[in-house]
Amino acid sequence: MLIKGGTMKRLAVAVMALIMLAGCNGGAIKIGRLDKIDYTSEAELKKDYTVGARQTAYIGDSLARWHNYYGKKYTRALVATKAFTLTGKFTTRGTYQSDLIFNVRQGAKLPVMGQYTYKGTQYYVAATRDSRDNTHGLLIDDNGVLCNNAVTNDDNDRLYVAENGATTPVDVLFSKQIYFDRESGSSGLSHELIFGGINDVTLNLSYREYTSDLLARPAFSQNLIYKTGADIIRFKNIKIQIYEVTNEKITYAVISDEL
């Protein structure tokens, strides 16, 4: 089949237009959206005493109180361990390269916006601003090491890549700021040991377990009886050293708990 000269010219122009269009779309890498931040489900322990600290309690007072909260633990921010500058020619649109400069001070807390896997490595995407006050996301791996050659745009839906990205100084590291997010509607579980006095034979304590919302879980209590004159008493993993005790008060220290 023969193609006339005019038709050939029109085809050539169309092919060049397609090539140019492909070039315009091939600069920044389209992300779409960031992955959610990884988390672990954990219990957080809060104690109202210090192991080894000498204390005094009266009848009805708590000797030791601790509380378990349940929720999610995750990396909320990344903290720069030293000041640094990141520079590079980043491809932002088509084949256009933009000189980007990031000056990050020591101790700066960069909020984590999400996670993204680039070249087989999963990174946290941490928000910061360049020297023109435009928002970007820096890529930082799980060990706190910065990726010099890629940053996200302000919407975190495109990745700008550079071949010559570099930091000054070279050894840039970040530490993690871990956050514990308590489960919505969960009040957790409280525990306490209460002093009940002594007589000639026994030292009396009581153990209580309860939530702030008793409808979620009924309160539980247990009477504990120890020999009067004991120097050390124990309940589960909690060991208490007794220094002095009367029917009115007790002077003691929690010496270990292993909670």
How does pLDDT run across 200-227, given as a tens digit for each residue? 999 999 999 988 665 446 789 999 999 9
Ranges of residues in the chain with a pLDDT under 50 are 1-3, 11-26, 215-216
Buried b (16+ CB within 10 A) or exposed e, 193-207: bbbbbbeeeebbbeb
- Compute the residue count for the chain: 259
In which element (H, E) is residue 92 found? strand 84-93
User: 225, 186, 217: which is closest to 43 by C-alpha?
Assistant: 186
Q: How far is CA 93 from CA 17, 23, 158, in A?
A: 17, 9, 10
Q: CB within 8 A of 47, min separation 6: which ones?
A: 64, 65, 66, 67, 257, 259
User: What pLDDT is attached to residue 184?
Assistant: 56
The tokens 């140019």 sit on which residue? 20
User: What pLDDT is attached to residue 11?
Assistant: 45
Q: CB within 8 A of 122, min separation 6: which ones?
A: 35, 115, 116, 141, 142
Rounded to two decimals, what is the model's pTM?
Answer: 0.64
The span from the CA of 144 to the CA of 75, in Å, is 11
Q: Are 254 and 239 in contact (CB under 8 A)?
A: yes
The span from the CA of 55 to the CA of 16, in Å, is 84
